[in-house]
């Protein structure tokens, strides 16, 4: 699913009106009808609903929602329209007129604010429908609008925003004070998510708690035509990368993966990584680890081969002795000087696809010059802390994504930036946000499993860009399948690894949605 800028959304809205021969107000009615249906499914008609509308089309959406709720028998709808400049958009004015035209038999509790505003009493039992400003906002909220936003936030009422929480921009909000935005419990957004929905600080500061997409049948031809650097990855996007296996295939048809992982006290990382690589379909898996890990790995993952390092307790030699399609380095290897030396030799001499995670990245952070030795299209899979150790501390997830785009281009590498919406950043600047996964996956070993999944798809011949995007999706889906049985508190990395095969089967067997665009992630 494409993630469009606010400007492109306006182009799509216009194309929809033209192609479907409707007015912009007709489209507003359609959007409001969809939001009204959601509200009716959530709240009984005796619930007090306070609608806060602004002077633009977002305010028109809110006024139309209020009208539709009243028409459906909601008796406690109160409407406040902010028209401080005495100038409404055309569609907002039409929405106001239709609301006021309901007639004497229907009570409309309506206030149009043009100067002073006496705020309504709001309690935690009330619902606020926020329609002050949507994605068309061009400047941060100021003056009285800030006071309204803060009043709503402090009320304890359940807040539902239409399109966007008022005061929030659709893309970047680094220089905006979030306490001056409306803090929404739920945001109904139309057709596709906004880029700002994928940044942690918007959740930590309570601007966004949850959001839901509402399909209002926007013009699909225009959506296909417009280009974007941001994609929200769904099942239909990755399905073409998974094919049924040839009946006469042998294990060597599915590649060989070398995993350089583990050290004394951290052999579990090697075990988790190996198990995930095998579950993801690699034909052959070899674990190269400290000599002490032999019995542990051979017992825990007998399907994997073991290649003992010269070092007894940690790895001191990363020489690749056999023909492997991918070498994955990092889980549990530690950051001993001898290990860093071995990594440097590998980076200088390797001819295989490389995947670096965990301690491999920590090794590089101790010797930053190694970054310049990364072969083209190397995949690195840092979490937030590892990324900041490599590329400098970032003040926000927005800043971190921008930095990731910059360094992916500079070093010609692929970055899998792990988090709630794991972002795969390509050297082209394109970013693929993952739609699967859950908070239960914040557990020891989950990153080692992800390394194994991506390594397996590299071994099977996928391009690094494909393997990284597909691996993140399957890893998250396996976690979702596992958490349904264990719950978030009880989820372990081994549960994720054990559900990888089931996750792959789910994707292969699930039918496509014919009406939706399949985005090529090659």
Domain carrying residue 57 = 6-227
| DSSP letters spanning 315-357 | -------S--SEEEE-TT----HHHHHHHHHHHHH--SEEEE-
pLDDT tens track for 481-498: 999 999 999 999 999 999
Q: What is the DSSP secondary structure assignment for residue 178, as one 8-state letter? A: G
pLDDT at 241 over 60: yes
Among 227, 254, 270, residue at a domain's last position = 227
Regarding pTM above 0.75, the answer is: yes
Looking at the fold, whether 188 and 272 belong to one and the same domain comes out as no
CA distance 344 to 364: 9
Looking at the fold, whether 426 and 334 belong to one and the same domain comes out as yes
Average pLDDT of the residues in 421-426: 98
Residue 516 lies in a domain: no
pLDDT tens track for 299-337: 999 999 999 999 999 999 999 999 999 999 999 999 999
pLDDT of 115 reads 82
Closest CA to 435 of 424, 446, 427, 451: 424
CA distance 470 to 452: 12
Looking at the fold, whether 157 and 289 belong to one and the same domain comes out as no
When pLDDT is cut at 50, 70 and 90, the band that residue 514 belongs to is: very low
Looking at the fold, whether 383 and 265 belong to one and the same domain comes out as yes
Instruction: Give the angle 178-187-37 at the CA atoms, nearest 5°.
Output: 155
Residue 345 lies in a domain: yes
For residues 306 and 289, is the Cβ–Cβ distance under 8 A? yes
What's the CATH number where 45 sits?
Answer: 3.40.50.10260
Looking at the fold, whether 60 and 200 belong to one and the same domain comes out as yes
Among 183, 209, 227, residue at a domain's last position = 227
Looking at the fold, whether 103 and 139 belong to one and the same domain comes out as yes
Total structural domains in the chain?
2
For residues 472 and 494, is the Cβ–Cβ distance under 8 A? no
Lowest mean pLDDT among 92-96, 244-248, 270-274, 360-364: 244-248
Looking at the fold, whether 339 and 372 belong to one and the same domain comes out as yes
Q: What is the DSSP secondary structure assignment for residue 200, as one 8-state letter? A: T
Q: Which two tokens stand for residue 368?
A: 């930053």
CA distance 87 to 55: 7
Strands (E) in 175-304, as ranges, are: 186-190, 211-214, 230-233, 256-260, 284-289
CA distance 405 to 424: 10
Residue 515 lies in a domain: no
Q: Which two tokens stand for residue 465?
A: 């860009």
179's CB contacts (< 8 A; 6+ apart) are 150, 153, 205
- Report the half-sphere exposure of 427 (CA within 13 A, side-chain side): 13
pLDDT of 183 reads 97
pLDDT of 515 reads 38
Residue 492 lies in a domain: yes
When pLDDT is cut at 50, 70 and 90, the band that residue 175 belongs to is: confident
CA distance 519 to 167: 31
pLDDT of 127 reads 98
CA distance 431 to 404: 10
Residue 522 lies in a domain: no
Residue 254 lies in a domain: yes
413's CB contacts (< 8 A; 6+ apart) are 374, 376, 377, 378, 379, 380, 407, 427
Residue 35 lies in a domain: yes
For residues 347 and 323, is the Cβ–Cβ distance under 8 A? no
pLDDT at 516 over 50: no
Looking at the fold, whether 206 and 176 belong to one and the same domain comes out as yes
Average pLDDT of the residues in 203-230: 95
pLDDT of 513 reads 38
What are the angstrom distances between the C-alpha of 218 and each of 187, 221, 514?
19, 9, 16
For the chain, what is the mean pLDDT? 95
Residue 120 lies in a domain: yes
For residues 300 and 494, is the Cβ–Cβ distance under 8 A? no
- Report the half-sphere exposure of 29 (CA within 13 A, side-chain side): 10
Average pLDDT of the residues in 29-54: 97
Among 227, 252, 271, residue at a domain's last position = 227
Closest CA to 193 of 472, 62, 4, 429: 4
Looking at the fold, whether 11 and 157 belong to one and the same domain comes out as yes
pLDDT at 477 over 60: yes
pLDDT of 522 reads 61
pLDDT at 387 over 90: yes
Looking at the fold, whether 104 and 135 belong to one and the same domain comes out as yes
Looking at the fold, whether 210 and 242 belong to one and the same domain comes out as no
Q: Which two tokens stand for residue 88?
A: 């409404």
211's CB contacts (< 8 A; 6+ apart) are 186, 187, 188, 189, 193, 197
pLDDT of 244 reads 84
pLDDT tens track for 70-123: 999 999 999 999 999 999 999 999 999 999 999 766 678 899 998 888 889 999
Percent of the chain with pLDDT over 90: 92
Average pLDDT of the residues in 170-197: 95
What's the CATH number where 301 sits?
Answer: 3.40.1190.20
Looking at the fold, whether 241 and 223 belong to one and the same domain comes out as no
């Amino acid at each position: 699913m494409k993630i469009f800028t606010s400007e492109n959304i306006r182009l799509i809205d216009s194309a929809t009106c033209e192609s479907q021969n409707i007015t912009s107000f007709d489209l507003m009615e359609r959007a409001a009808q969809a939001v009204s249906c959601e509200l009716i499914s959530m709240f009984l008609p005796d619930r007090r609903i306070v609608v806060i509308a602004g002077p633009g089309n977002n305010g028109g959406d809110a006024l139309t929602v209020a009208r539709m709720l009243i028409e459906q028998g909601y008796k406690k709808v109160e409407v406040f329209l902010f028209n401080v400049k005495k100038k409404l958009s055309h569609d907002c004015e039409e929405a106001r007129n239709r609301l006021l035209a309901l007639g004497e038999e229907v009570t409309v509790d309506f206030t149009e604010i043009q100067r002073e505003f006496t705020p309504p009493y709001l309690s935690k039992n009330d619902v606020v429908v926020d329609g002050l400003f949507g994605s068309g906002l061009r400047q941060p909220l100021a003056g009285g609008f800030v006071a309204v936003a803060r009043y709503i936030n402090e009320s304890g009422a359940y807040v539902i925003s239409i399109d966007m929480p008022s005061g929030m921009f659709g893309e970047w909000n680094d220089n905006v004070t979030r306490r001056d935005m409306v803090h929404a419990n739920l945001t109904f957004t139309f057709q596709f998510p906004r880029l700002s929905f994928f940044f942690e600080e918007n959740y930590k500061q309570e601007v966004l708690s949850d959001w839901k997409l509402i399909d209002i049948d926007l013009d699909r031809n225009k959506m296909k035509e417009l280009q974007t650097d941001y994609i929200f990855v769904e099942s239909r996007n990755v399905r073409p990368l998974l094919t049924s296996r040839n009946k006469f295939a042998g294990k060597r048809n599915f590649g060989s993966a070398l995993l350089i992982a583990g050290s004394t006290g951290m052999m579990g990382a090697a075990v988790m990584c190996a198990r995930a690589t095998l579950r993801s379909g690699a034909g052959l898996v070899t674990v190269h680890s400290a000599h002490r890990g032999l019995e542990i790995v051979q017992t825990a993952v007998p399907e994997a081969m073991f290649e003992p390092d010269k070092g007894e307790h940690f790895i001191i030699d990363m020489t690749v002795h056999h023909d492997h399609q991918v070498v994955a380095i990092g889980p549990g290897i530690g950051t001993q000087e001898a290990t860093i030396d071995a990594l440097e030799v590998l980076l200088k001499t390797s001819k295989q696809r490389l995947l670096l995670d965990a301690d491999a990245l920590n090794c590089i952070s101790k010797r930053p010059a190694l970054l310049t030795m990364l072969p083209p299209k190397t995949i690195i899979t840092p979490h937030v802390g590892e990324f900041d150790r490599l590329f400098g501390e970032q003040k926000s997830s927005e800043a971190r994504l921008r930095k990731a785009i910059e360094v992916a281009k500079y070093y010609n590498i692929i970055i899998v930036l792990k988090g709630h919406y794991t972002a795969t950043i390509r050297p082209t600047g394109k970013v693929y946000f993952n739609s699967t996964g859950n908070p239960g996956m914040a557990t020891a070993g989950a990153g080692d499993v992800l390394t194994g999944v991506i390594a397996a798809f590299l071994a099977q011949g996928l391009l690094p860009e494909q393997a990284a995007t597909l691996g993140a999706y399957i890893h998250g889906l396996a976690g979702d399948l596992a958490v349904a049985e264990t719950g978030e508190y009880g989820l372990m990395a081994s549960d994720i690894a054990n559900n990888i095969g089931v996750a792959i089967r789910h994707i292969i067997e699930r039918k496509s949605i014919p009406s939706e665009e399949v985005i090529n992630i090659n």
